[in-house]
Amino acid sequence: MQKYGFKIINDICWFKPNGAPCLACKNFTASHETIIWACKSNKSKHTFNYEIMKNWDVSKDLINHQGKQMRSVWAISLTPQKEKTFGKHPTQKPVELLKRFVSAATKEGDTVLDPFMGSGTTGLVCKQLNRKFIGIELEKKFVKIAKSRIGEDNA
């Protein structure tokens, strides 16, 4: 990303306390994903809602503490079954993960683009947080799931 002029603001490690085991037993269990937060250039401005993150309810997060600066490692469990009632996506992200990030990096009324929409978690969170949303997804079955989750079956 830096090679193409983007400025990396943060990399966030999503630690999955309940990550799936490595069934082959030939390597370490994958228990995290990396989120790269970047902007277009060094001149770009970005939003960071420091106070919201400092006071975020992290009661289920093993690493962060409410009232303290939010760290770049977030301990958030995998997507619970109750979030998969409209269908399943192999890499569906939990609402808490997207809610935390969208709350940190946007303001009400901002537009969020998710170029790999999948099952629509980002769109669902944007609707809950009063953000505009643009989602792109190639697989029709996942578009259908996303529309149902976001509540736009007639879109």
CA-wise closest residue to 120 among 154, 155, 100, 95? 95
Task: Count CB atoms within 10 A of the CB of residue 129.
Answer: 17
- pTM of this structure: 0.92
Strands 132-135, 111-114: pairing is parallel
pLDDT of residue 155: 41
Q: Per residue in 32-58, is it b (16+ CB within 10 Å) or e — as a string?
A: eeeeebbeeeeeeeeeebeeebeebeb
Tell me, rounded to whole angstroms, the distance of Cα 22 from its chain centroid: 24
Sequential pLDDT tens for the chain (155 residues)? 999 999 999 999 999 999 889 899 999 999 999 999 999 999 999 999 999 999 999 999 999 999 999 999 999 999 999 999 999 999 999 999 999 999 999 999 999 999 999 999 999 999 999 999 999 999 999 999 999 999 964 34
Do residues 110 and 50 touch, judged by C-beta distance below 8 A?
no
First-to-final CA distance of the chain: 34
